[in-house]
Amino acid sequence: MATTERDRAADELVARRESLRDAALARLEVTAVAPRSSGDRGTREALSRCRVDLAAHIDALAAALHATGAEQLREYCAFTAVFLEALGVPRRSLGAALDALSESIGEQLDPALSALAQDTLAAGRERLCASPLVTPAALAAIPEAPRAASEAASAAEAIELSAARIAPMSVALSYMRRPEDALAAGAQRGRCLDDARRHLAQLAAAVDQGSPELFSAYAAWAQSLLVQHGLDPAELVGYLDALGDVLALTLPEHLAERPRQCLAAALDRLTAVHAEAPSFVRPEAPLGAVACGYLDALLARDRRRAVRVIREAIDAGMPVKDIYAHVLQPCQYEVGRRWQLRQLSIAGEHYCTAVTQMILSQLYPLVVNTDRAGLRLVATAVDGNLHEIGARFVADFFEMAGWDTFYLGASTPAEHVIEEVVHRKADVLAISAALGDQLASVREVITATRRDDRCRHVVILVGGRPFCVVHDLWRQLGADGSALSAEEAVRTADQILAARSA
């Protein structure tokens, strides 16, 4: 009986959405809810935002009456308040809007239904008095005075300047639209804010490169990861949608187009249905049996067996290059995939990676080629990149081709890379990046190397995951070339050097 009444109250609210909204609007002193803007345009915008907000409040109330009731509306109110506060609209304005709505409901609905709706609304309204509204971290992240994105020279810079404000605003807005996500997130909301900051950093990187594809690849990856953490795949879609709206409000118009394109590409790519990527290790692939045996040993945490599998393959005459390309690399990718699917812990990934690094050290004597090519390579992971195996593979393949190689390992600052290039008299500099937000550092090394007179002749190659996603990224960053694998990297370097000396 009670449920039916609640449903009827909800249906009435939706049916009367427009007249309730207009009546509430008439009760409100619109300028009191206007954001910190003035003049006619500001008032018009405030009015239209207020209309949209009131309609959203009515829908949220109806949804709460249909579903779980007061708790859902309380969440809605909390996040709406955070969102509006981030826009410069004080919390009391939301309270005033809810009061106006409550009075309009009292006037327009039949008394029994009106009492039900008003009780639920009052519970939500009450939440506005609770402090803190969300998590202290979320509130602290909204700066008192937002920095002026309008002063930014580029869209990427504008996003970075306003990230501290955009992140909580976009989380709050997406929760305002999907209160069920806020409820599901529960105590994990602080993490949602961290995720939002990561999404923004990747968006800024893609915008900086003018590459929507880079961001859509990231979004697809992030969605699959979130799904493994039990989140609804639609949540990221909803979040990106909200982010688009927040950016439209925050960024100056002339900088809004590129971020919009990146978000549109990501939203196009994300589907509510999550398809799991297939394994990187397959028995039918070249050296598939060895790869399966090696992966098995890694996952069983059996280091001795892992070493034995590789030694037996070498003893059976399998080339070191093939062990790298068809065993170690796919197994590392598979380790990453399993981490992403939450089938492997961080400790498990670290263990497997440590074993692979140990195997690489053991194989090194077989890597050294006695026929010298008279050419020199410096290979490094760019500043901020902790993934060192890609650059190490590249260095080892050049070494196998007879080059003298200088492998610098993880995260090396630009000025130190250049000193090394100069002192080692390098012909080629190989730079490795693993994530989109490391591309700005790649550009920095390239620019600094080009600017240095001592490095005029140096061929710069770039590679790693982002370059596998967007194939002409290397050109945009000003490199001389790129390659999808270490083996191809040697061929590319040879071709560029041959073309130069022709």
Comparing every residue's Cβ against ligand B12, the nearest one is: 463
482 binding ligand B12? (CB under 6 A):
yes
Tell which one of 174, 329, 405, 449 touches ligand B12 (CB under 6 A): 329
Of 298 and 389, the one with the shorter C-beta distance to ligand B12 is 389
Q: Which of 167, 465, 470, 480 binds ligand B12 (CB under 6 A)?
A: 465
Complete DSSP assignment for 221-285: HHHHHHHHTT--HHHHHHHHHHHHHHHHHHS-GGGSHHHHHHHHHHHHH--SSPPPPPPS--TTS
Q: Which is nearer to ligand B12, 163 or 462 (CB)?
A: 462
Residue closer to ligand B12, measured from CB, 101 or 201: 201
| Contact call for residue 386 and ligand B12 (CB under 6 A) | yes
H/E stretch holding 150 reads none
Residue where the block lists tokens 């240095």: 452
Distance CA 73, CA 86 (A): 20
- Nearest CB to ligand B12, comparing residues 57 and 337: 337
- Binds ligand B12 by CB under 6 A, chosen from 101, 462, 470, 477: 462
Site for ligand B12 contains 78 (CB under 6 A): no
CA–CA dist 264, 281 (Å, integer): 33
> Closer to ligand B12 at the Cβ: 104 or 482?
482
Binding range to ligand B12, per CB under 6 A, among 63-71, 95-103, 380-388, 445-453: 380-388
Main-chain dihedrals φ then ψ at residue 152, nearest 5 degrees: -70, 150
Strands of 459-463's sheet in order across: 404-407, 376-381, 428-432, 459-463, 481-482
- What number of chain residues touch ligand B12 (CB under 6 A)? 38
Shortest Å, Cβ 390 to ligand B12:
3
Q: Judged by CB under 6 A, which of 353, 406, 420, 496 binds ligand B12?
A: 353
Amino acid at 370: T
CB 482 within 8 A of CB 467: yes
Could you say which of 142, 200, 214, 335 contacts ligand B12 (CB under 6 A)?
335
Q: Are strands 376-381 and 481-482 parallel, antiparallel or unpaired?
A: unpaired
Most distant CA pair in the chain: distance in Å? 93
Within a 10 A sphere around the Cβ of 161, how many other Cβ atoms?
A: 20
The reply to whether 393 sits near ligand B12 by the rule CB under 6 A is yes
**Shortest distance, CB of residue 59 to ligand B12, whole angstroms?**
35
Q: Which stretch binds ligand B12 (CB under 6 A): 44-52, 239-247, 296-304, 461-469?
A: 461-469
3-class DSSP assignment, residue 431: strand
Which residue, 209, 152, 164, 222, is CA-closest to 437? 209
Does 389 sit near ligand B12 (CB under 6 A)? yes
Of the candidate residues 166, 173, 461, 473, the single one contacting ligand B12 (CB under 6 A): 461
Position 340 contacts ligand B12 (CB under 6 A): yes
> Given candidates 233, 336, 348, 413, which one binds ligand B12 under the rule CB under 6 A?
336
Looking at 80, 120, 174, 332, which residue binds ligand B12 (CB under 6 A)?
Answer: 332
Yes or no: say if 9 and 67 are a contact pair by the CB < 8 Å rule.
Answer: no
Nearer to ligand B12 by C-beta: 76 or 407? Answer: 407
If the CB atoms of residues 93 and 482 are measured against ligand B12, the closer one turns out to be: 482
CB of 189 to ligand B12, least distance (A): 18
Burial tier of 136 (Cβ tally within 10 Å: 0-12, 13-18, 19+): exposed
Binding to ligand B12 by residue 432, rule CB under 6 A? yes
Question: Looking at 286-391, which runs of residues are DSSP E strands?
Answer: 376-381
The verdict on 179 binding ligand B12 (CB under 6 A) reads no
Choosing from 69, 384, 402, 413, the residue that interacts with ligand B12 (CB under 6 A) is: 384
Q: Does 333 bind ligand B12 (CB under 6 A)?
A: yes
Binding range to ligand B12, per CB under 6 A, among 3-11, 189-197, 292-300, 481-489 = 481-489
Site string for ligand B12, 280-319 (x = CB under 6 A): ----------------------------------------
Residue 153 and residue 138: Cα distance in Å, rounded? 28
| DSSP H stretches of helix in 128-256 | 136-140, 155-177, 179-185, 189-209, 212-228, 233-250
477 binds ligand B12 (CB under 6 A): no
Write out the two tokens for 39.
């003049």
Query: Residue 49 belongs to what H/E stretch?
Result: helix 39-66
Helix (H) or strand (E) segment spanning residue 476: helix 473-477
Q: Is the alpha carbon torsion for 442, 445, 451, 453 positive or negative?
A: negative
Question: Measuring CA to CA, which residue among 305, 298, 373 is closest to residue 328?
Answer: 298
- Which of 5, 478, 485, 497: binder of ligand B12 (CB under 6 A)? 485
Residue closer to ligand B12 (CB basis): 58 or 196: 196
**Site stretch for ligand B12 (CB under 6 A), options 48-56, 114-122, 136-144, 426-434:** 426-434
Whether 464 and 436 have beta carbons less than 8 Å apart is answered as no
- The answer to whether residue 348 forms part of the interface with ligand B12 (CB under 6 A) is no
What does the binding site for ligand B12 look like in residue numbers (CB under 6 A)? 218, 221, 329, 332-333, 335-337, 339-340, 349, 353, 384-391, 393-394, 430-432, 434-435, 461-465, 468, 482-483, 485-486, 489
